[in-house]
Amino acid sequence: MSRAPIAVALDAPDLETAALWAKAVTPHVQVVKVGLELFCSHGPAVVETVRGGSGVDLFLDLKLHDIPNTVAGAARAVAGLKPRFLTVHAGGGADMVRAAVEAAPDVTIAAVTVLTSMTPAVLDEVGLAGPPLDAVRRLAALAVGAGAGALVCSPQEVAAVRAEVGPGITLITPGVRPAGADTQDQARVATPEQALADGADLLVIGRPITGAPDPGVAAAAIAATLA
């Protein structure tokens, strides 16, 4: 059976748990995602631990945002870990995104447009007035123009972003919940089937899989709905 276009968010309290989850889900999914908490706690060694012998693709979700020279240095530093995706904030500007792209040519740079945690009021506070979708589309176009090969956006925005950037750019969506699953703190969710139908290429799913009694079984069940 081919593996599903899912990136399992390994938001684990410790390295052992992350490794167990990774081992359980990798037969069923294409990607595992290591985020800031795990990377800051355990450093680059976490990558080898979660990858194990599986050869699963790695999504390094570090959301880099600094001056271009510093982001280039960080991207170069983690390129040796051979992630398939590395995230940067599109809000850092075109030169910053381009610096990451050029520093890590074998890695797909995934630009985060607007964090889904930001409400219109918060966006207004930081000077991004207007409908959030306008900022999302503007930042998506900016990042793709700077060479980003992927974008992270909410499932609610994915159709508009696809229309903005066209085919050929990998669209990655968190906030995905199987029908009937607990939404937890995700406010704007879509089912895996809907997100793919709207143009997503890779679905980030965490707790519906890692919080299940058997993460392997949960991953297989969601993967089966997409087969």
Distance CA 78, CA 70 (A): 13
Within residues 97-126, the interface with ligand C5P by CB under 6 A covers: 115-116
- Residue 10 is classified by DSSP as -
- Size of site (CB under 6 A) for ligand C5P: 14
Please list, residue by residue across 147-167, b when 16 or more beta carbons sit within 10 angstroms of its beta carbon and e when fewer do. bbbbbbbbbbbbbbbbebbee
One character per residue 10-29, x = contact with ligand C5P (rule: CB under 6 A): -x------------------
Closest residue to ligand C5P, based on beta-carbon distance: 206
CA distances, 189 to each of 77, 80, 195 (Å) = 34, 34, 9
* CB contact at 8 A, 178 and 192: yes
Among 72, 205, 218, 222, binds ligand C5P (CB under 6 A): 205
One character per residue 31-70, x = contact with ligand C5P (rule: CB under 6 A): ----x-----------------------------------
- Residue 37 is classified by DSSP as H
Distance CA 205, CA 195 (A): 12
Please list, residue by residue across 42-57, b when 16 or more beta carbons sit within 10 angstroms of its beta carbon and e when fewer do. beeebbeebbeeeebb
Q: Whose Cβ is closer to ligand C5P: residue 41's or residue 69's? A: 41
- Provide the minimum distance between the beta carbon of 69 and ligand C5P in the complex, in angstroms, as a whole number: 26
Strand partners, 89: 112
Among 68, 83, 132, 206, binds ligand C5P (CB under 6 A): 206
Q: Whose Cβ is closer to ligand C5P: residue 42's or residue 76's? A: 42
One character per residue 135-174, x = contact with ligand C5P (rule: CB under 6 A): -----------------x---------------------x
HEC letters along 148-188: CCEEECCCCCHHHHHHHHCCCCEEEECCECCCCCCCCCCCC
Q: Whose Cβ is closer to ligand C5P: residue 83's or residue 206's? A: 206
Mark whether 63 is an active-site residue: yes
Among 186, 200, 219, 220, binds ligand C5P (CB under 6 A): 186
Q: Per CB under 6 A, which region of 22-30, 92-100, 190-198, 202-210 contacts ligand C5P? A: 202-210
- Structure-token pair, residue 193: 């089937």
The catalytic residues are 63
Residues near ligand C5P (CB under 6 A): 9, 11, 35, 115-116, 152, 174-175, 184, 186, 204-207
